[in-house]
């Protein structure tokens, strides 16, 4: 039986950890995750999803604020694990810890590397309108997401996908690919492939500024942006100095007169028709006005007349 140290934090990591726990050929001897963080208005400390699963299975949990140079790192080395498996852990792992296990350390990364190294690969795949994404199993190195590739599996990105749906889908793909890959790793039969540095694309952490919609983009690009940020962190636009979240919609055909960028031209089929770039039109079907509940436009129209919003202009980023 192979002894595994698992490193991960969000829901994406839970699926991968569960796969390892349920594999009879492996024993998860320790789980490393981010510290509990305060959430909500009352700032109640909340454990990470990975911690909750580990405690459910009586697996020791390590939560260093910073793993480099920590006491926890020394304790992990003393476990004499065969392998470290990381999946969306959220910290740089020091090279001495990476090299401590017999088989080193591998990472389950949610992109087809070398495209989208970094912390937001699923967001950027959707935002850029990619037709496919996938999972890469790589060796961990000192450099972020730069290790040799052990295996990859691609999936199609559907027009209805958003970042939440892709997270769930790729978590399952990551678990399955990891479990398919590990036997060859332990047998010493796997052929790792170096990444092509000239093809590297980065996916840095999403910023608050990137959440605002640019209406001068085409309607398809606006749709890509909204789906890439749904349900987290979400997109917004500004109307009369008030922040309005845009949750759903789609590019639409519109036969009326065009207007200025960001203008609400009409209400059709329970959608707000907004002028976008390149003479394209986006139909908002769900939004959330500042300080109010998330509503479909159909629900909003139950208490408001179309004239209340037609000719309004959303601020262009």
Q: Which residues are annotated as a binding site for (6S)-5,6,7,8-tetrahydrofolate?
A: 111-114
Task: Report the distance separating Cα 236 and Cα 226, nearest Å.
Answer: 9
CB 131 within 8 A of CB 156: yes
- Which residues define the annotated binding site? 111-114
Neighbours of 4 (CB within 10 A): 24
For residue 146, give both structure tokens: 């730069």
CB 67 within 8 A of CB 98: no
For residue 251, give both structure tokens: 């590019």
For residue 285, give both structure tokens: 């079907």
| Residue that the structure tokens 């990859």 belong to | 152
Length of the chain: 317
Q: Is the backbone peptide bond immediately before 206 cis, with ω within 30 degrees of 0? A: no
Task: Report the distance separating Cα 238 and Cα 313, nearest Å.
Answer: 9
Task: Report the distance separating Cα 213 and Cα 15, nearest Å.
Answer: 32
Q: In whole angstroms, what separates CA 287 from the centre of its chain?
A: 22
Task: Report the distance separating Cα 106 and Cα 149, nearest Å.
Answer: 9
- DSSP state, residue 27: E
The residues that bridge with 235 in the sheet, in sequence order, are 246
DSSP secondary structure string, 98-147? HTSSTT-EEEEESS-TTEEESS-HHHHHHHTT-SEEEEEEEE--SSTT-S
């Amino acid at each position: 039986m192979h002894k595994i140290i698992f490193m991960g934090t969000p829901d994406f990591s839970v699926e991968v950890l569960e796969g390892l726990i349920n594999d009879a050929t492996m024993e998860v001897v320790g789980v490393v995750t981010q510290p509990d963080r305060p959430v909500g208005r009352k700032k109640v400390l909340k454990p990470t999803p990975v911690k909750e699963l580990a405690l459910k299975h009586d697996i020791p949990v390590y939560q260093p604020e910073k793993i480099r140079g920590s006491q926890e790192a020394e304790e992990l080395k003393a476990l004499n694990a065969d392998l470290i498996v990381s999946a969306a852990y959220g910290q740089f792992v020091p090279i001495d810890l990476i090299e401590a296990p017999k088989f080193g350390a591998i990472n389950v990364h949610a992109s087809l590397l070398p495209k989208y190294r970094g912390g937001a690969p699923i967001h950027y795949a959707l935002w850029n309108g990619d037709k496919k994404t996938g999972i890469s199993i790589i060796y961990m190195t000192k450099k972020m997401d730069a290790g040799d590739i052990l295996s990859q599996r691609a999936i199609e990105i559907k027009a209805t996908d958003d970042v939440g749906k892709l997270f769930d889908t790729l978590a399952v793909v990551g678990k399955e690919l990891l479990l398919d890959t590990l036997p060859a790793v332990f047998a010493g039969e796997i052929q790792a492939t170096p990444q092509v540095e000239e093809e590297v694309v980065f996916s840095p952490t999403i910023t608050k500024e990137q959440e605002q919609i640019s209406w001068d983009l085409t309607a398809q690009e606006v749709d890509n942006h909204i789906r890439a940020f749904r349900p987290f962190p979400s997109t917004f636009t500004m109307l009369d100095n008030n922040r309005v979240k845009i949750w759903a919609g789609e590019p639409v055909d519109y036969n009326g007169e065009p207007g200025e960028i960001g203008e609400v031209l009409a209400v059709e089929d329970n959608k707000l028709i907004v002028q976008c770039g390149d003479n394209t039109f986006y139909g908002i079907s769900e939004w959330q006005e500042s300080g109010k509940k998330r509503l479909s436009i159909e629900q909003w129209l139950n208490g408001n007349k179309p004239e209340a919003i037609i000719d309004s202009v959303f601020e262009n980023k």
